[in-house]
C-alpha cells in the first residue's frame, strides 16, 4: 500500500496527485519506501513527549525515523526530504526542515488530503490565506486543508479517507510549474482588456488561454470576476464591491 501511495505513477496515489496539479512538472519518480523499521524509542518514551511543544518538537519524531533508517543501513542522503510513517505518536505533520511525520494507527484510514497538504509544506509551500489575513482561509487551495477546502471521499487499496482540491495560482507560481506562455501579465498599470482563463486544476478542459493573470502592484483598476473572464476595466465587481482576491 505505501509503495503504491507514495512512489508509483498510475496507482492513484500522491504521485499522481502531484503530477496532475503541477501539469506533470513535479515528478516523484525515484522516491522509495523503506520498512517497516523498528525504532529504539518505545511507547513509554512516546508517552513522555505526549505534551511536546508544537510544532518544534515534531522534528524529534522525524529524527527518530531517520535514526531507524541509519541503524538499518539505509542511506537517505540522496533524498530531498523524508516522510516518516509511525504506527504511534502524539503529533504529525511537516517539520521546519521539510521532513514530514505521518502517524498511521488505523489501517482502514488513508488521510490523502492531509498527507498531500503536509507534503506541500515539505516542498516549501506556506499555508494559504483569505484576504487579508485569515489563515487556512482559501477554500480552493490544498494549503488550506482541511479548514476551508472542499473534501471528497476517496478509497485507496481498501482504505478510505478525504481527498481535496488542487493548488491556487500563488502556490503554483511558487513551485514554478506554470509555463510562462500561460501567465498573462498587464504591460501597463491601467489597461482595459478581457482575458480568458483556463481553470487551474482541470487541464483536460484544454488550453484556450492563460492560467494566471498577474496584476502590476501599481495598477489602480483591479480585475473583477465576470463569469469565465477577468476584465481589467472597473474598480468594482459585479455586485458593486471591490474584489478581495483578483487571482486564483
More confident residue, 205 or 237: 205
Q: What is the pLDDT of residue 232?
A: 33
Range with lowest mean pLDDT among 79-88, 107-116, 223-232: 223-232
Confidence of residue 227 (pLDDT cuts 50, 70, 90): very low
Mean pLDDT of 78-87: 90
> What pTM does this model have?
0.80
Give one DSSP letter per residue of 104-139, joined into a string. Answer: ---TTB--HHHHHHHHHHHTTPPPPEETTTEET--T
Q: How many CA atoms lie within 13 A of 135 on its CB side?
A: 2
pLDDT range class, residue 240, cuts 50, 70, 90: very low
- 235 band by pLDDT with thresholds 50, 70 and 90: very low
98-122 per-position pLDDT tens digit: 899 998 889 899 999 999 999 999 8
Amino acid at each position: 500500500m505505501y509503495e503504491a501511495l507514495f512512489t508509483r505513477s498510475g496507482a492513484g496515489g500522491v504521485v499522481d496527485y502531484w503530477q496532475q496539479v503541477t501539469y506533470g512538472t513535479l515528478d516523484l519518480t525515484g522516491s522509495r519506501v523503506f520498512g517497516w523499521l523498528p525504532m529504539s524509542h518505545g511507547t513509554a518514551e512516546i508517552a513522555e513527549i505526549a505534551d511536546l511543544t508544537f510544532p518544534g518538537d515534531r522534528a524529534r519524531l522525524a529524527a527518530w525515523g531517520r535514526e531507524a533508517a541509519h541503524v538499518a543501513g539505509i542511506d537517505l542522503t540522496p533524498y530531498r526530504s523524508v516522510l516518516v510513517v509511525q504506527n504511534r505518536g502524539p503529533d504529525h505533520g511537516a517539520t521546519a526542515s521539510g521532513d514530514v511525520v505521518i502517524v498511521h494507527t488505523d489501517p482502514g484510514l488513508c488521510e490523502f488530503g492531509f498527507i498531500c497538504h503536509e507534503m506541500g509544506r515539505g516542498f516549501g509551500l506556506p499555508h494559504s490565506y483569505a484576504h487579508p489575513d485569515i489563515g487556512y482561509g482559501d477554500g480552493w487551495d490544498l494549503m488550506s486543508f482541511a479548514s476551508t477546502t472542499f473534501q471528497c471521499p476517496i478509497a485507496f487499496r481498501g482504505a478510505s479517507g478525504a481527498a481535496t482540491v488542487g493548488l491556487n495560482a500563488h502556490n503554483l507560481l511558487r513551485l514554478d510549474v506554470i509555463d510562462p506562455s500561460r501567465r498573462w501579465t498587464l504591460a501597463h498599470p491601467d489597461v482595459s482588456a478581457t482575458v480568458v482563463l483556463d481553470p487551474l486544476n482541470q487541464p483536460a478542459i484544454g488550453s484556450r488561454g492563460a492560467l494566471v493573470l498577474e496584476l502590476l502592484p501599481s495598477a489602480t483598476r483591479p480585475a473583477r470576476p465576470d463569469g469565465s473572464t477577468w476584465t481589467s476595466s472597473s474598480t468594482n465587481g459585479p455586485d458593486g464591491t471591490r474584489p478581495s482576491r483578483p487571482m486564483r
